[in-house]
């Protein structure tokens, strides 16, 4: 007799077989097959076969990580085919199954837009409010403010009770202001202003300033001037400067700068809770720079502004500029005044670092150490911190405190691994070890994240759906850089990645693929051949190209420099004469091969005249050989590090540090050092 348990087991097996035969459970499909299906569907979509693409996207397995993207692509296919009912059905499917994903949030936003466009305002409002509450910092949450404002405007038109109407309009204005605050250059910014002002509500000084700022940000300067005249000039003068300068009314630009710096009442004015002190301070500094740009004698102009601006927000900036322009023997006293007058100001760290280095120059190491420790305690992540840390190590080395020296050098490398001073810390740590620069190990540009939280983006990368990646993750600068690289926009890719890396508080390890976006390798085979022919260091030439042109072969400067290595026609002809090449025009220098060839010859000739010293040659490449020879004879320095710090041209000093920073990063990222 068969037991009940056996009968139950047989029944389950039969049921499973029956269900399987009816395809009620989806079959497992290997992910590689899903990639092929998705890729085939994407190709059909891109060639305009939307109906076929829709069906093919539907074949991606339910268990695939690509499934939400496939459903979204089906919605796009339906939209292209004019089938809005199916489009919304697919959006709802994404929202239902992937509500908290980036794609789920985007689907909800697009659905809300559709509802608004079809005048289903109540349903649209519900969706936009969800986005605003759940994702306030995303583009979708920010844009929801705009639509919620529009919905309130529509609602107010149907209200007869004036009190309720006013309440609805007030809510609309609040939504518009929230959008403008978060996205002053956003696609809906000007629309927000237009909707706001059509309500015919009375505008106060702050409202007029907000509107004027948005118009300026979006290049509508005539419109901005209409609202600026109703603002409190004690606060708005930097915007008068921006606007008149953009309209090329330079006499008024100067007038408003002087008026703003003379007027000291701004601090007494009640500032609203949205006041951004950093932004306003930057605008004052920009206004000062604009004024100086319009005057033929910047030094005299700085002194004039300094004489009228003692109580204004720009005084510390003017004082800092004054210190930088003073003769060396007067600079330290000026930096002392700046530091003790503005100990928590934007320029206090730089001022203290300069005072600190002045003590080192005079070999007063005891006083320098006290100042250095004060700086490192007060400014842990200032731009001047790696410099101070490095020179604290140099002091310890010069006073034979080798343990402290090693500790400081290691700290520079650990805390500021990509900095110019990290390279020199490395050199000083390894003075007793022999090492050489070798050819870089070229590594491919990869997706910027090894372990990315959003599994979908790595899957989309596998199937090369770059369009959808761009839609979903364009706010991530590294991903934007990676996409630019894939599209051949190498210069923009490197700049975007550089800016993204600068924003990181903690730098990743040198093996992280993001570094290769910041320091990519282009034209390296050509650089290698030409550099070795002329006995140049190819990594150094690569670094010069990165800083000169960011790998844009068509780069041209206002001064007349052209191409990858930014050669001036005179330098190109001087180099070309050595190998019998004439350079009749600048366009010839836009050819990468010619530019790299002549640039190497020119660099080699400079190097020969400077006793084979690369550090002097890099200076001369920017500041001219005459200047370098003069500095070499006239500056009072103990070693190369001292010499670099005392270069009297800030542009050349910064250029040298940037080139050697790139050089160091290429060596460490691409395994260019061998012991």
pLDDT value of residue 16: 60
DSSP per residue, 652-668: HHHHHHHHHHHHHHHHH
CA 73 to chain centre: 31
Q: What is the tens place of the pLDDT at every residue in 580-634?
A: 988 878 889 999 999 999 999 999 999 999 999 999 999 999 999 999 999 999 9
Residue 172: inside a domain, yes or no? no
User: 576: domain CATH number?
Assistant: 1.10.530.10
CA 230 to chain centre: 35
Contact 427, 490 (CB under 8 A): no
Least confident of 51-55, 322-326, 494-498: 322-326
Torsion angle, alpha carbons of 345, 349, 350, 353, to 10: 150
pLDDT value of residue 237: 96
pLDDT value of residue 24: 47
Reported as a pLDDT band with limits 50, 70 and 90, residue 311 is confident
pLDDT value of residue 431: 84
Task: Indicate if the pLDDT at residue 25 is higher than 80.
Answer: no
pLDDT value of residue 220: 96
Q: At which of 374, 406, 425 does a domain end?
A: 425
In a 3-state reduction of DSSP, which class is residue 348?
A: helix
Same domain, 65 and 34: yes
DSSP per residue, 200-219: -PPP-HHHHHHHHHHHHHTT
SS (H, E, C) 392-447: HHHHHHHCCCHHHHHHHHHHHHHHCCCCHHHHHHHHHHCCCCCCEECCCCCCCCCC
Torsion angle, alpha carbons of 462, 463, 467, 472, to 10: -50
pLDDT value of residue 268: 45
DSSP per residue, 264-324: --GGGSPPPTT--HHHHHHHHHHHHHHHHHTSS-HHHHHHHHHHH-TTSTTHHHHHHHHHH
Reported as a pLDDT band with limits 50, 70 and 90, residue 392 is very high
Task: Indicate if the pLDDT at residue 21 is higher than 70.
Answer: no
Residue 332: inside a domain, yes or no? yes
Torsion angle, alpha carbons of 128, 132, 134, 135, to 10: 110
Burial of 441 (0-12, 13-18, 19+ CB in 10 A): exposed
Tokens of 465: 């759906």
Contact 600, 593 (CB under 8 A): no
Residue 229: inside a domain, yes or no? no
pLDDT value of residue 155: 95
Residue 608: inside a domain, yes or no? yes
Q: Distance (Å, rounded) from C-alpha 358 to C-alpha 364?
A: 9
Q: What is the tens place of the pLDDT at every residue in 357-368?
A: 999 999 999 999
Same domain, 402 and 275: yes
Enter the pTM of the model. 0.87
Q: Distance (Å, rounded) from C-alpha 333 to C-alpha 330?
A: 6
Phi, psi of 309 (to 5 degrees): -115, 25
Closest CA to 387 of 360, 342, 420: 420
Mean pLDDT for all residues in the chain: 92
Tokens of 624: 């001219």
Task: Indicate if the pLDDT at residue 466 is higher than 50.
Answer: yes
- Output the CA torsion sign for 471, 476, 478, 481: positive
User: 358: domain CATH number?
Assistant: 1.25.40.10
Q: Distance (Å, rounded) from C-alpha 214 to C-alpha 195?
A: 14
Tokens of 122: 């109540």
Residues whose CB falls within 8 Å of the CB of residue 662, separated by 6 or more in sequence, listed in order:
519, 542, 543, 546, 547
Question: Which of 300, 548, 645, 651 is flagged as catalytic?
Answer: 548
Residue 25: CB atoms within 10 Å: 10
Same domain, 562 and 622: yes
Phi, psi of 338 (to 5 degrees): -60, -45
Rg of the Cα atoms in the chain:
31
Q: What is the mean pLDDT of residues 380-401?
A: 97
Same domain, 364 and 459: no
Q: What is the mean pLDDT of residues 623-650?
A: 94
pLDDT value of residue 270: 44
Tracing tokens 């001037």 back to the chain, one arrives at 225
Q: Distance (Å, rounded) from C-alpha 422 to C-alpha 436?
A: 17
SS (H, E, C) 215-238: HHHCCCHHHHHHHHCCCCHHHHHH
Residue 602: inside a domain, yes or no? yes
- Category of 496 on φ-ψ map: left (φ > 0), alpha (ψ -120 to 50) or beta: alpha
Residue 187: inside a domain, yes or no? no
Torsion angle, alpha carbons of 569, 574, 576, 582, to 10: 60
Q: Show the domain range for 332.
A: 264-425
- Calculate the alpha carbon distances from 60 to 53, 77, 126 in Å: 11, 15, 32
Residue 72: inside a domain, yes or no? yes
Same domain, 310 and 364: yes
| Maximum pairwise Cα distance, the chain | 112
Name the β-bridge partners of 674: 436
Same domain, 528 and 600: yes
Q: At which of 68, 98, 128 does a domain end?
A: 98
Residue 119: inside a domain, yes or no? no
Least confident of 26-30, 297-301, 303-307, 405-409: 26-30
Same domain, 399 and 414: yes
Q: What is the tens place of the pLDDT at every residue in 472-499?
A: 888 899 999 999 999 899 999 999 999 9
Q: What is the tens place of the pLDDT at every residue in 95-140?
A: 999 988 889 999 999 999 999 999 999 999 999 999 999 999 999 9
pLDDT value of residue 275: 55
pLDDT value of residue 432: 72
Contact 280, 314 (CB under 8 A): no
Same domain, 286 and 408: yes
How many domains is the chain partitioned into structurally? 4
pLDDT value of residue 583: 86
Q: What is the tens place of the pLDDT at every residue in 145-157?
A: 999 999 999 999 9
Same domain, 510 and 540: no
C-alpha angle 427/432/436, rounded to 5°? 60
Reported as a pLDDT band with limits 50, 70 and 90, residue 15 is low
Same domain, 271 and 408: yes
Residues whose CB falls within 8 Å of the CB of residue 116, separated by 6 or more in sequence, listed in order:
124, 128, 147, 150, 151
Reported as a pLDDT band with limits 50, 70 and 90, residue 454 is low
Contact 595, 605 (CB under 8 A): no
Tell me whether residue 548 is one of the annotated catalytic residues: yes
Closest CA to 671 of 358, 397, 435, 468: 435
Q: What is the tens place of the pLDDT at every residue in 196-247?
A: 999 988 999 999 999 999 999 999 999 999 999 999 999 999 999 999 999 9
H helix runs in 98-198, sequence order = 102-117, 121-134, 139-157, 162-182, 189-197
Reported as a pLDDT band with limits 50, 70 and 90, residue 273 is very low
Tracing tokens 């923009």 back to the chain, one arrives at 492
Same domain, 341 and 296: yes
- Calculate the alpha carbon distances from 28 to 20, 32, 63 in Å: 12, 12, 7
Q: At which of 83, 98, 113 does a domain end?
A: 98
Q: Which helix (H) or strand (E) element contains residue 470?
A: helix 466-473
Q: What is the tens place of the pLDDT at every residue in 61-84?
A: 999 999 999 999 999 999 999 999
Same domain, 507 and 594: no
Contact 385, 379 (CB under 8 A): yes
Q: What is the mean pLDDT of residues 181-187?
A: 94
Contact 68, 103 (CB under 8 A): yes
pLDDT value of residue 27: 57
Reported as a pLDDT band with limits 50, 70 and 90, residue 298 is confident
């Amino acid at each position: 007799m068969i037991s009940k348990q056996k009968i139950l087991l047989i029944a389950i097996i039969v049921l499973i077989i029956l269900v399987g035969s009816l395809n009620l459970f989806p079959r497992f499909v290997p992910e590689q097959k899903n990639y092929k299906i998705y890729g085939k569907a994407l190709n059909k979509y891109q060639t305009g076969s939307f109906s076929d693409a829709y069906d093919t996207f539907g074949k991606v397995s339910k268990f695939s990580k690509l499934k939400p993207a496939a459903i979204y692509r089906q919605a796009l296919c339906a939209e292209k085919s004019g089938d809005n009912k199916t489009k919304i059905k697919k959006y709802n499917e994404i929202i239902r199954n992937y509500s908290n994903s980036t794609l789920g949030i985007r689907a909800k936003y697009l659905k809300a837009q559709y509802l608004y466009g079809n005048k289903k305002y109540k349903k649209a409002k519900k969706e936009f409010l969800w986005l605003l509450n759940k994702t306030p910092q995303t583009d979708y949450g920010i844009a929801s403010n705009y639509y919620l404002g529009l919905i309130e405007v529509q609602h107010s038109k149907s209200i007869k009770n004036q009190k309720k109407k006013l309440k609805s309009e007030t809510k609309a204005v609040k939504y518009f202001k929230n959008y403008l605050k978060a996205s002053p250059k956003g696609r809906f910014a000007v629309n927000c202003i237009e909707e706001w002002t059509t309500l015919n509500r009375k505008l106060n000084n702050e409202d007029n300033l907000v509107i004027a700022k948005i118009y300026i940000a979006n290049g509508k300067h005539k419109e901005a001037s209409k609202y600026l005249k109703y603002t409190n000039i004690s606060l708005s003068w930097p915007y008068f400067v921006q606007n008149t300068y953009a309209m090329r009314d330079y006499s008024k630009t100067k007038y408003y700068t002087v008026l703003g710096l003379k007027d000291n009442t701004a601090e007494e004015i009640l500032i609203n809770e949205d006041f951004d002190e950093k932004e306003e301070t930057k605008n004052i500094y920009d206004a000062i720079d604009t004024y100086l740009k319009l005057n033929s004698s910047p030094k005299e102009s700085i002194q004039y502004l300094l004489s009228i601006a003692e109580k204004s927000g720009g005084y510390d900036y003017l004082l800092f500029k004054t210190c930088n322009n003073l003769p060396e023997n007067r600079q330290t006293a000026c930096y002392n005044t700046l530091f003790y007058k503005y100990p928590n100001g934007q320029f206090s760290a730089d001022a203290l670092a300069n005072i600190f280095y002045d003590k080192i120059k005079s070999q007063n190491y005891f006083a320098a150490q006290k100042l250095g420790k004060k700086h490192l305690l007060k400014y842990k992540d200032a731009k001047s911190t790696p410099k101070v840390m490095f020179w604290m190590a140099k002091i310890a080395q010069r006073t034979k405190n080798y343990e402290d020296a090693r500790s400081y050098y290691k700290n520079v490398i650990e805390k500021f691994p990509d900095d110019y001073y990290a390279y020199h810390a490395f050199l000083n740590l390894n003075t007793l070890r022999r090492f050489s620069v070798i050819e870089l190990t070229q590594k491919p540009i990869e997706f910027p994240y090894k372990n990315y939280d959003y599994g979908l983006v790595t899957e989309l990368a596998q199937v090369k759906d770059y369009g959808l990646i761009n839609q979903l993750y364009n706010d991530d600068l590294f991903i934007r850089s990676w996409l630019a690289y894939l599209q051949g926009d190498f210069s923009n890719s490197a700049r975007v990645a550089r800016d993204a890396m600068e924003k990181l508080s903690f730098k990743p390890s040198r093996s992280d693929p993001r570094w290769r976006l910041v320091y990519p390798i282009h034209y390296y085979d050509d650089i290698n051949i030409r550099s070795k022919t002329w006995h140049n260091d190819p990594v150094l030439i690569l670094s010069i190209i990165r800083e000169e042109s960011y790998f844009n072969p068509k780069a041209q400067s206002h001064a007349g420099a052209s191409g990858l290595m930014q050669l001036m026609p005179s330098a190109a002809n001087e180099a070309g004469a050595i190998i019998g090449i004439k350079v009749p025009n600048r366009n010839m220098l836009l050819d990468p091969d010619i530019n790299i060839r002549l640039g190497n010859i020119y660099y080699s000739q400079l190097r020969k005249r400077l006793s084979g010293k690369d550090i002097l040659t890099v200076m001369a490449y920017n500041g001219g050989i005459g200047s370098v020879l003069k500095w070499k004879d006239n500056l009072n320095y103990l070693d190369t590090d001292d010499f670099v710090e005392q270069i009297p041209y800030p542009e050349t000093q910064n250029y040298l540090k940037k080139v050697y920073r790139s050089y160091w990063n290429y060596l460490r990222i691409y395994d260019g050092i061998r012991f």
